[in-house]
Structure 1
Amino acid sequence: MVKQLVKLRTRPSRDSKTFVLMLDYIDASGKRNRESLGHADKRKAERQRAQKERELRMGIVVPERMRLSELLADSRERTRGQVRETTLTDRDEAMRHLIDAVGDIDVQEVSHRHAEVFIQVRLDAGNAPATVNKKVSALKRLFQLAVLRGQLETNPFRHVTRLKAPARQVRVFSEDECDNLLKAVREPYRADGPDWELLVVVALCTAMRRGELLNLTWADTDFDRLTVSVAPKQDTKHTWEWRIKDSERRTLPLTREVAELLKGRRTARATLHPYIFITASRHQQIQQRRNAGRWTLTDGRCPVNNFNRGFGTVLERAGIIGGEFHDLRRTCLSRWLANGLTEYDVMQLAGHSDFSTTHRFYLAVRSDLVDRARTATMAVMGTDFGAHMARAPVFG
């Protein structure tokens, strides 16, 4: 006879006048459990006992009870070092906003309705649809990992559809704006600040991201081949750990003029350290923080203080309203596309892991394309079109 793993027990109520049924069993970890069923219906209790028996024999683990904040902490600990710190930060923020919207409830209680509430609360708070989509994606992945770990049976965000959001407009600096930028960065800059001229020139030449540029070392350059490499950095005596976005190593071209500018800067510097765009004083400050254990992987993403404010000053000098440093990258990629490189070529040089990123964000309509379209329209409609419009009556 097969041994019964789950037994029914009775437990008297506090007034000793009634009783409730309970399940008595030992789980897979060897821990004894006594689970109250909350009723005295023996037929219903037997069905529940049989179900629990089947679960134990099949090795089914009942998802553990935890609140949303506990799920986040558990997931963070499990994935630390496996995903980028920015990804963890995005998940932290999304979960915090979910808790603000629905409360720190048990994860087993989260449903599609809570997802709808979350979306509406974020929209009411002023988040753009694209921002809400990003938060939903972070939560959807977080809950899916919980499903894979056996902490949830189903993903409550699995049927949430993306909000319709207008395509992001790609800001590309015009030729005149680039000339003004180059004139602005040739002006004297703070001795302890970054070399803005070198940063802008190399960014326009290579389409490198801010973090890639600021973590560039002299060892990454090859002046004979006129190339520069984007490579991760190890935690050594003079360099801090830094990881490439999407983990894509790549080699990028330098023009001879840019290579000469780089070599000239290296020769002119009295104190040499590994980094091209980190000043000696800033490198010393970072080393002190590293020795004191106050430097993190996140700090290495932008090791220059007040970077955005500094570039804002550059834009102001150039007479450019709006814009950001990443627009230099977009400008370079758009130039490559306009001068014959295929989208696949640009995808490889840009370090995009997904072709849609190249296609969606960097296929900007350039002024020369607009001019060609205008010329073609005039050729089709003929010169008489303008005269006809001049003679047409005006209604108003």
Structure 2
Amino acid sequence: MGLFFTSSFILIPKRDSMSASEIGLICALFLPSFLATWIGTVGICKLLQIFHPHQSHGDLNKNNDKDGILITRGVATSKPETKEDVLVNWMISLFDPIVYLIIFIIGIPVFFSPGGSNRSLPLFLSTVVLSWLLSRRVVPTTWQMILHPILVTSAISVLAIFIFGSIKGMQIQEVLGHYSTGSTYLVLFRKDKGYTGQPPGCGDVMSSILNAGIICLAFPLFRYRQDLYCNFVRIVIVIIPNCVISLFLWPFLANKMGMNGDHSITFAGRFMSTPFGIEFIKATGGDQSLVVVLICFTGIIAVIIRDQAFRLLRVRVKVGSDDYFTIGMTTGVIAAAIGTSALIGNNYHRAAATSTVSFVLYGIILLSLVAVPDISKFVDKLAGF
């Protein structure tokens, strides 16, 4: 799922330039607000465990252990791979690269032919996917802690798109305009009398699939619905203080540090998921490009430091006996969809269910608050509008 977050970084060169001082102010507030929210959320979860002990239907620890037992048992009882199995696995691993390499080869003449700028989808899509496969398979796993696949893919893709545009005599901003034309599924499906605008670009396809992917994060909710029902009050108790601090404190501090009003208010939406964050910025008048970048960077950093940070704060992280509520709440409130998808990928399914509910409720509450005119005006005043 991380592949579909790369468009936010690929489109960075398209946004308006920002002064070095403004970038420095954003960086200066980014890390303290991140750490304060992480530590504060873990602290609230630990206080709830003391004053409001977890009560749920059934033995949750036993159910957690089942996940770990199933994984261990699968490894213990698996048969040695035969030569046929090795061949099959090798062929499967080559399937995606071969398919997208063929699309890439087809996309070259399609893009470089006269008028091919409007037919950039095959070339750009295959370029991004091949870059993703390269970052996942070639970069060593230990290096991916720093060279995160989203960042590596974005860097390779921007360089490749820049080269393609230069060959056609196009500036980077112009060629990125064909990478993402704004023709997402929402635009295409709303046209009752047919669509006459530009065809969708790679970024539009990625954005559309990302929305569907975020919905797929809800799959663990059904399996752990009893946990979520029993923990609902605890979830709300953790979310409310985070919403209040995000909405009022971070824009206020950003304004006092000297940021522009649109950048200050953008910090209020940095912990939301991308769709919620975009709607929040539309309602408040912030910087849409900046909020997407902040959301993605926040999610990536959270994934990179997740286990180490939880261990420092004495939170159990071993799969099967993990403190799923604290992990899920902290990840959902801070890293949203990027963090939740990483939890699923690392077999933290119970924590992922909690994380999904938390980032959805977090986004709904913030959007509901800024829908109140008096609150919205007060936040604008804090941000310096």
TM-score by length of 2: 0.24
Larger Rg over CA atoms? 1
TM-score by length of 1: 0.23
Higher relative contact order (CA 8 A, sep 6+): 2
More helix by share: 2
